[in-house]
Structure 1
């Protein structure tokens, strides 16, 4: 085998590993966890921060690997997923299962070294995602509601990692990311509607790209904005943001709402894609604003 062929094989293995663990998604989840940690901590422990990043990646990677094992036959039917490692034949189910199992054990172990509560919530996240959300995707649109629970845990998980406590602060972070997921995933469901249909997935609340779905997108977008602004009012314990930061988040929220309303008016895939992109931008900037607000107040 030539050097070029060896390098190609190595590249393929790395690429398949990234795909089976959904590296981009995993890194975004880790980002949420780290933001939650920075919000909850009094003095930053870099070792804990590193453990949280590694443990968080393991947990998300495990969930995604198990998900692709379960959905391997359905993935073959969809253009978006037919070239994933398992349906394409590049990776065996046993190999994927080994990765998922190792990642689960390693993730829980790493998070347990932070504190037991963090490990517990990480384990709950994997269980709900794999055992409830994944099988429900082909049975009911309520799968998005169930999937919103593990999806909302990372932001909260960071606070628990920092404090070893669960209270109103991590509960609020959970609520923000919980409501946010509905406009986000329904925008994806709208955009990929035809492809999801091939796999038999029910991702939209009414099952169709219609006004009913679009109205629910608007409603949950409003709830996302409202919950995001709760920390401004000083009713969420140590979790607080200034009115200036609240104003920034409100502006971001109104832009998100504008795209949601546009989806209701136009109801096409292009508008859904713009809403999806804006939703990612919203939650990312919200987390940055929350963290920046805390540290700017500490410096002043």
Structure 2
């Protein structure tokens, strides 16, 4: 009996690992973090039930999108080093089983978000649909797929506001734009790093289709737009969502770090700098959400 329980442990451990890979737990946590930040920005008093439901519903929403994505891309995933060890291309998980998980996650995610309010469910459904039915198939067709993918990618931050207020207006619209424009330098930095791997799979994620200075010009342009949109609330033209001038300065300086690496990438065109840009973009989106929330509670 003891040896049987020991032999079962690696199987259970392997299944949990595959499950985490299929639903991309790390990415899901970052998305949930954005949703929670959006909720805290909007609410006057925290409803912990809504907060827990938003967290669970948000995880299901992202998990479903990622599972559908890996089902569709199972053949191209097998061609790239970064993805060839995923559970479906290796055969550790069947397509039918993954499809069951994706479907259950979709139903549970949209159901939980609907319980919060119907607008949340609508945005959750739009996010899953665009990621699965537009962004994923377009990856092998056009670099413009990044624009399409930026829409579902920008929904979580504003979803938290909608969960708190049951309203979509200028405030969640601003949160959407901040995360929307952030994704271009972030994903193009990844596109630069993974360019050769993506080519193997027939994907071209860079804006001009080439790993050159033209692509970096776009990165720099979108980084500048991202910084401007991020400090927009300081002018108090974005409804209830506004920030102090000192907060805008801190956010602009954080954006300046991304801009620095963007300019450096333009000069050096190296993978090392592209990685620094990508990491600085993750730092940026994480810190500004925390800074916005701190600023809100200082009002």
Q: Structure 2 length normalisation: TM-score?
A: 0.98
Paired residue for 1:103? 105
Paired residue for 1:231? 233
Which residue of 192, 196, 203 maps to 2:205?
203
Structure 1: gaps spanning 5 or more residues: none
SS at match of 2:116: coil
Which residue of 3, 6, 29 maps to 1:4?
6
Q: Deviations over 1:157-191 (max 9, x none)?
A: 11000000000000000000000000000000001
Paired residue for 2:119? 117
Which residue of 269, 273, 292 maps to 2:275?
273
**1:35-54 maps to which residues of 2 (within 5 A)?**
35-54=37-56
**1:149-164 maps to which residues of 2 (within 5 A)?**
149-164=151-166
**1:1-300 maps to which residues of 2 (within 5 A)?**
2-297=4-299
Distance 2:6 2:218 in 1: 52
Structure 2: gaps spanning 5 or more residues: none
Shift of 1:84: 0.1
Distance 1:42 1:122 in 2: 24
Q: Deviations over 1:59-91 (max 9, x none)?
A: 000000000000000100000000000001100
Distance 2:242 2:277 in 1: 28
SS at match of 2:242: coil
Distance 1:248 1:216 in 2: 24
Q: Structure 1 length normalisation: TM-score?
A: 0.98
Shift of 1:206: 1.0
Distance 2:206 2:87 in 1: 27
SS at match of 1:84: coil
CA RMSD of aligned residues (A): 0.7
Distance 1:241 1:2 in 2: 59
Shift of 1:38: 0.5
Distance 2:50 2:264 in 1: 43
